[in-house]
Structure 1
């Protein structure tokens, strides 16, 4: 039993039945029949009357969220326990308080991470039960904690005094370092600040490097690729590779590289007085379809992190329904998918150094768009399980076809193209930027989202005939490489066949490189697959496309010549 005047901490494992009896004892102050000592003739002993006043006790139940296995599906003993707790709250009476003359309750305080950790009908179903939210420490509280930790850090780093002469008190970190530490821990608890300081000591970091310790605490990753020299070298060397992969978009690639250089130097949002933990870089790719927006996003991932697998892609057309935000962040407690967590938050926690691509962002539900406001401003999101995910080391890329077409307001309210192929780039850029801004500000009422994007909108140009021919050659080369690696077949095109296929596939470039690829699939890959499928022992065969003939249904037939070389080489003959 707890002693009078002391708080009792009930964080040791107990059976629910025992806990219920303890709760009742505390609430009633241990007033039980037969408790007061009696005289031999059965009368209460007068000298113990004062001592038998009800105990004044506070019961503190820590880790209250761990009492139920699943708060949405209580077992019978758990339900009975919480029902009795609710009944006890209703039946409780104030007890006399010695010395004050007032009658007060013996309070029971439940400590939980959130209101949903206990049954809703317990915390919201009684006038005797009150929920008090404890806010995270504000800047002032974090700064006071930073000052205390600065003193501890200074003392811990001071050299031991082995001689009789004192070297004086070690220099205390300056106010700027203390303020930086306090601001870097926005959204964290004081305990998290202490853990960050411990990490700094363990890693031999100075107090001025405390932000690095906070990053390690938040992300759980020791090494920071953004601080490595090779990132800057890769960006310098990779410019030519980006332009080779994303053809005809020199200005868009150049602007994207400028933003990546800013990210590598940690200057994203540097114009703000306190940039906080914003994402490393933010890019919004806008422009006609098939012009290389998704390809550039994948190329950026490979450029920065060495592999396209570092690009986490979300097709936002799959998040157009209401409540689809639950897929990204995790469902609330009691809903399907709660245990699985959010697709976005889980993936970023597993690998915080990556490119996150939100394809066709304009198709997402407004509730999803609202979540990006917090990501772009604070660099963090809290999922349905209450776990915070940090995006401070990510590059976020949004793509959209916004601005190319616009409602005409005529007839049935259809859409017309307002940005035409062949238009000068500066004019195209001006039109698309204006229409993107109009979409966010006027059509969906999210001007703050446009403000967060700022000058990070990158406009892609239409591809012209010259670029279309380059894309065609590149995609034919991909087909040849795949055939060689997968089947050991060496594919070549005669000059006549190459010219005919190029004419078919690049006649209409409105759909950009994606449209060229679809036509290549129809006019080359499909008929080639039909011709090769029934052949045996393809490895070591050189196949030359000598002619392309239309067959009248929008498709073509290929004239092929196959030569078995029995070697790795493509065999004799002309063509490509």
Structure 2
């Protein structure tokens, strides 16, 4: 019989180890192959029993803090062997540390002279829950583990005449823990009789074999290797037991075997509807080639590249060149360039375009994450720290709404250690928060913005776009490679860097017209006063607001606020209460500034 590697390690060390600490992926199912090559999925307890049974062990005693002592398998010969191992039938007292010590004492007692030897094993399940803190034991806990330490060293291996393995083998004790450090360190450190073995998560080969095994439960699915491989790839990061659960969910929702990727997404995210699969999404992105440039003015090159990346995301081709890319984010964009040119506005536009709702847009100002510990805000504090139970702002938000555009503004201001978390998201598409809960980003679009390359005079208004793009990309590369020492993060971004141009004169004029119209509309809607801005006041105001374009559209808005909104507010305050109807701006002065209103 073919067993997983950790089971083979147990099998070959039974002659030298009296106790084992098993940690890691213990609650999973494990692939086992019979002598004829037939695969099957077994629980850890079943797997341990098959390993032991091959060495002529007769019973597996399993203790946990809820049910107490149980005997596996439930057969007369195993129950008889358990009685002989314990010197009597298992007790029926409630589970407790004292009872566990009593059972282990009986299990580890020397067998009586002339008594036929019997091989058996003892499993202590949920051993992580035996104590509150392994490094701060109360006297009873300390005495218990001191007893276990001594037992590990005084236990003697047994000869079993006539056995397929006649050499001496220990009757082992298995401790099942979540983490290796969940037991007192002095119990296992330097103790050659206790062996710690990590139980790994399934690899792609295990998932592929399991997919083929599960295919038989779908009528007509057959053993199509392409379908099975796709299921195995989609199930990256899942345990084999979870793959079984996915197939159960698929059958419950009436999905066929070829639709298991949808079932995997539903299992992970808890939502059945997938905006990326909506039939009208392609048409909306195509329509965006016309609508987005009308909203993001003067950035034709940036808009075209962004829409190309969205098309790739809609088709599920982001990262398709990688061997296993299914768990990565749907799309990744890195917006760079001057301030006030539409980077944030384009992020909002992407959210509205793909998900039909700007509320799907989530922004983090990375200047607030310049300290290393600030990363706890994103994924939550570690256990034992204040706020641990609240989780992280980022992970909580994505679990509540898995289909999002997430904007990380001014990423260069974040602490380098926080960037490591983004590396994990870009590569694996998931983050584990301080509570141990995994959040998946496979349906998100991640957008990073940066002003790298804008310091100094290397990039200035009036340079050709190609030169601006080349200079900014070089500055980004230098920052990630030379300053942050994170070239791997730059590699994950790939060619998804979108460089924005300065606002040109034509675009600036259109931005001015739009912002001015917004101001006049608000005054009309909220105060019932129509403000008429005639010539030459309008032309003069436009010239003032668009004179310097280094600050982009945001600079135009700031100038409008200073040159029109503030003096307009003063003038409106002078009108008699309840005044309605149109008024005309007849004169403007920049060195005041003042606005004179006259009834139209």
TM-score of the aligned structures, taking structure 1 as reference length? 0.80
Question: Cα gap change, 1:446/1:171 in structure 2, threshold over 3 Å: closer, same or farther?
Answer: closer
Deviations 1:350-383 (A, max 9, x none): 1111101111111111112222222222222222
Match 1:281 to one of 331, 337, 362: 331
Counterpart of 1:181 in structure 2 is 231
Aligned pair 1:25/2:25, yes or no? no
In structure 2, distance between residues paired with 1:270 and 1:252: 23
Match 1:340 to one of 374, 390, 402: 390
Counterpart of 2:451 in structure 1 is 401
In structure 1, distance between residues paired with 2:427 and 2:388: 26
Aligned pair 1:89/2:166, yes or no? no
What is the aligned length?
Answer: 513
Question: Cα gap change, 1:193/1:423 in structure 2, threshold over 3 Å: closer, same or farther?
Answer: same
Residues 232 and 261 in structure 1, CA contact (< 8 A), matched pair in contact too: yes
Aligned pair 1:328/2:378, yes or no? yes
Match 1:436 to one of 476, 479, 495: 476
| CA-CA distance at 1:54 after TM superposition | 10
Match 1:451 to one of 487, 491, 502: 491
| CA-CA distance at 1:211 after TM superposition | 1.4
Deviates most, 178-187 or 530-539: 530-539
Deviations 1:170-189 (A, max 9, x none): 56131111112112212110
| CA-CA distance at 1:122 after TM superposition | 7.7
Deviates most, 119-128 or 447-456: 119-128
Deviations 1:41-72 (A, max 9, x none): xxxxxxx976699995513323x55667x769
In structure 2, distance between residues paired with 1:446 and 1:326: 21
In structure 2, distance between residues paired with 1:150 and 1:140: 15
In structure 1, distance between residues paired with 2:194 and 2:388: 27
Q: Which has the higher contact order (CA 8 A, sep 6+)?
A: 2
Residues 65 and 130 in structure 2, CA contact (< 8 A), matched pair in contact too: no
| CA-CA distance at 1:103 after TM superposition | 8.1
| CA-CA distance at 1:275 after TM superposition | 2.4
Aligned pair 1:515/2:574, yes or no? no
- Partner SS for 2:382: coil
| CA-CA distance at 1:24 after TM superposition | 0.6
| CA-CA distance at 1:131 after TM superposition | 4.9
Question: Cα gap change, 1:258/1:496 in structure 2, threshold over 3 Å: closer, same or farther?
Answer: same
| CA-CA distance at 1:111 after TM superposition | 3.4
In structure 2, distance between residues paired with 1:383 and 1:81: 34
Match 1:5 to one of 59, 69, 73: 59
For residues 111-150 of structure 1, the aligned pairs below 5 Å read: 111-112=177-178, 114=179, 118=182, 127=191, 131-150=196-215
Residues 29 and 106 in structure 1, CA contact (< 8 A), matched pair in contact too: no
| CA-CA distance at 1:126 after TM superposition | 8.1
Residues 173 and 208 in structure 1, CA contact (< 8 A), matched pair in contact too: no
Deviations 1:308-367 (A, max 9, x none): 111111111111112322221222212223211121111111111110111111111111
Residues 134 and 184 in structure 2, CA contact (< 8 A), matched pair in contact too: no
- Partner SS for 1:152: coil
- Unpaired segments of 5 or more residues in structure 1? 37-47, 158-169, 406-415, 564-572
Counterpart of 1:219 in structure 2 is 269
In structure 2, distance between residues paired with 1:54 and 1:24: 21
Counterpart of 1:110 in structure 2 is 176
| CA-CA distance at 1:420 after TM superposition | 1.8
Residues 494 and 547 in structure 1, CA contact (< 8 A), matched pair in contact too: no
Counterpart of 2:544 in structure 1 is 504
For residues 172-251 of structure 1, the aligned pairs below 5 Å read: 172-251=222-301
In structure 2, distance between residues paired with 1:248 and 1:13: 70
Question: Cα gap change, 1:483/1:377 in structure 2, threshold over 3 Å: closer, same or farther?
Answer: same
In structure 2, distance between residues paired with 1:203 and 1:363: 46
